[in-house]
Chains A and B, each alone.
Chain A
Amino acid sequence: MSSFLKIILQNLIKGPSTEKYPFGDTFEPAGLRGKLRFNAEACIACGTCEHVCAGGAIRITEAEDCSGLNMVIWHNSCCYCGLCQFFCPTKAIRHTIDYHTAHKQEDKFNYAERGFIKTVPCSRCGKQIVPAAQELLEQAGNSSDEIKDLLSMCEKCRQKETVIRGALRNV
């Protein structure tokens, strides 16, 4: 028992080991997986995050006027597993270190991170397409003017154009 009295005495001198949160600072490491943040500029609407989300917290739907895609991430369905961030090719979806999720009961279904991915018309046929994000192009390396021109087209026009250009090159 005497051995434990020594420990009690040491702890009395050391003072409390709990943190004074919310009246003081607490341990918030840089790698904390907190609330998700979405960057619509970097999103290429590949849908991987929606596919891997176990909680069904992410939904991408087309806007009614066809001008783009709506992205919703419900914080209350999110289980902070980080799979969406891990698989996102452009890191458009990221965890912040903000873990404060208190909100009013009436907001519980609207407590979400939202974004709007704007689509642009194909430079040839005018069909609405999701533009390639700068982050994606950076991963692909140097992009020439030819590639940039091809990126402004929809999939079908791009295929057609590539075949025509290839054929012309062989002539």
Chain B
Amino acid sequence: MSSYKIPIGPIHVVLEEPIYFQLEMEGETVRGVDIRSGHVHRGIEFLAMQKNIYQNITLVERVCSLCSNNHPFTYCMAMERIGRIKIPERAEFLRVIADEIKRIASHLFNTAILAHIIGFDSLFMLVMELREKIQDVKESTYGNRMNIAANCIGGVRYDISSEQAGFILNSLQAMKKPLEEITKIYLHNGSVRRRIEGIGVLTKDKAVEYGVVGPVARGSGIAYDVRADCPYAAYNQLSFDVITENTGDIKARAVVRIREIVESISLVEQCLKALPEGPTCLDYMPMIPGGQAIAKSEAPRGELMYYARTNGSDIPERLKWRVPTYPNWEALKIMLAGCKLADVPVIIGSIDPCVSCTER
């Protein structure tokens, strides 16, 4: 059989963001893959060292739109760790609410995109219509559909009144039944199953070897979730399951995401029920002394880690982050090897790659 090379990207209809894959083909089968990135490098790490600690809250929120809450959240945690700031208890719960609402929206988006990639656009529309409910929650609670601007150093910038809590609870309640319907489609619909079952398999051994995180790891049977293993904010006061699947294929990753949405809905409900009274942030503008710290959190795509070093001035000396897609896209080499050309976009979509986070 003849072998040849085929490029996918950097601009391609199924890729949400620019990344270049050079596939070594043998007939219809992928034999090797070379990933080349750097198309959306914007120099944000350098820029973060030119701006002051308050401006950086806004800057890091714009690294990526789908995990846009986790970046300032983790950044603020790192800064608070340096400054030894204890944030109010109400703020801890409000941070969890913001994070889980963003996670629901992000997971629904990837679930929808998966349907779009396999060419099932009616299902794509159905999931996006459901996502609109959570978008309305974000818009009315935080004032924006994507960049919710919930965090500040020392707490959160928003508060939830009992009226708003009612609106959030009603919206989440209204999502439960359609979500069950969507779960059934992903589990049982023949057109979907034929494209996602047994394809792009990442075995547990390989997942450990490549150090994958987030739904990719959990889809391969590794029960690693920062929220459970290294609790931050109010997660140690809440109960939730770490969802895992054992098959390690595209379907496993999709099912992990859908089932995590259910867990996230329950987490928001628990938070709103247990929300303590009190202030939501510090009543002064915090100054951060010199020092360094690491903070990590579970972004929708997996573990997000921030390193921050300050020198006592309000401009940080170094900000560095490791995003979940960085280990995950290396594992694509395993998932893509031996698959058919037509399955390549589905497999790429299934790791929920966030190129703008990774290249920043």
Indicate whether B57 reaches chain A with its CB closer than 8 angstroms.
yes
Say whether A63 faces chain B, with CB atoms less than 8 Å apart. no
Give bound CA distance, A11 to B51, whole Å: 49
B residues in contact with A81, CB < 8 Å? 57-58, 61, 147, 149
A83 and B285 contact, CB distance less than 8 A:
no
B139 contacts partner chain A, Cβ-Cβ < 8 Å: yes
Q: Check A33–B189 contact: CB distance below 8 A.
A: no
The winner among B61, B122, B132, B144 for most chain A CB atoms within 10 A is B144
Provide the bound-state CA to CA distance between A52 and B52, in Å: 8
Chain B proximity of A61: nearest CB distance (Å): 20
CB pair B181–A79 under 8 Å, yes or no, is no
Set of chain A residues within 8 Å of B4, measured between Cβ atoms:
none
Contact with A along B103-127 (1 / 0, CB 8 A): 0000000000000000000110010
A163 within 8 A of B: no
Q: Does A27 contact B (CB under 8 A)?
A: yes
For the complex, give the distance between the alpha carbons of A4 and B115 in Å. Answer: 13
**With A31-B142, A81-B149 in contact, is A53–B55 under 8 Å at CB?**
yes
Q: Are A32 and B139 in contact (CB under 8 A)?
A: yes
B-side interface residues, number (CB < 8 Å): 34
In the complex, whether B34 has a CB less than 8 A from a CB of chain A is: no
Number of A-B contacts (CB under 8 A): 77
Shortest CB distance A110–B (Å): 24
> Whose C-beta in chain A lies nearest to the C-beta of B285?
A87
CA distance A3 to B188 in the complex (A): 10
CB <8 Å contact, A54 and B58: yes
Q: Is the CB of B285 within 8 A of A79?
A: no
Residue in A29, A33, A79 with the greatest tally of chain B CB atoms within 10 Å: A29
Given A7-B181, A82-B149, A82-B157: A33 in contact with B58 (beta carbons within 8 A): no
Give the residue of A1, A7, A8, A87 whose beta carbon is less than 8 angstroms from that of B54: A87
Size range of the chain A interface in the assembly: 20 to 34
Q: Is B152 among interface residues, defined by CB-CB distance under 8 A?
A: yes
Q: Which of A29-72 contact B (CB under 8 A)?
A: 29-33, 48, 51-55
- Please judge, given known A-B contacts A79-B58, A81-B58, A87-B54, whether A4 and B143 are in contact too, CB under 8 Å: no
Min CB–CB distance B63 → chain A (angstroms):
12
Question: Does B141 interact with chain A (Cβ within 8 Å)?
Answer: yes
Query: Chain A residues near B123 (CB, 8 Å)?
Result: 4
List B135-154 residues whose CB lies under 8 Å from chain A.
Answer: 136, 139-144, 147, 149, 152
A54: contacting residue among B55, B143, B152, B190, CB under 8 A: B55
What residues of A have a CB within 8 angstroms of the CB of B122 in the complex?
Answer: 4, 7-8
Closest 10 CB pairs of A and B: A29-B140, A33-B143, A54-B58, A54-B55, A52-B54, A81-B58, A31-B143, A86-B157, A82-B149, A81-B149
- 6 A-B pairs with CB atoms under 8 Å apart are A32-B140, A33-B143, A79-B147, A83-B55, A83-B57, A83-B58
Residues of B within 8 A of A (CB): 51-52, 54-59, 61-62, 122-123, 126, 129, 132, 136, 139-144, 147, 149, 152, 157, 181, 184-185, 188-191, 285
Inter-chain pairs besides A4-B123, A33-B149, A81-B57, 17 sampled, C-beta below 8 Å: A1-B189, A4-B122, A4-B185, A7-B122, A27-B136, A29-B139, A33-B143, A48-B285, A51-B52, A79-B62, A80-B143, A81-B61, A82-B143, A82-B157, A83-B57, A86-B152, A95-B143
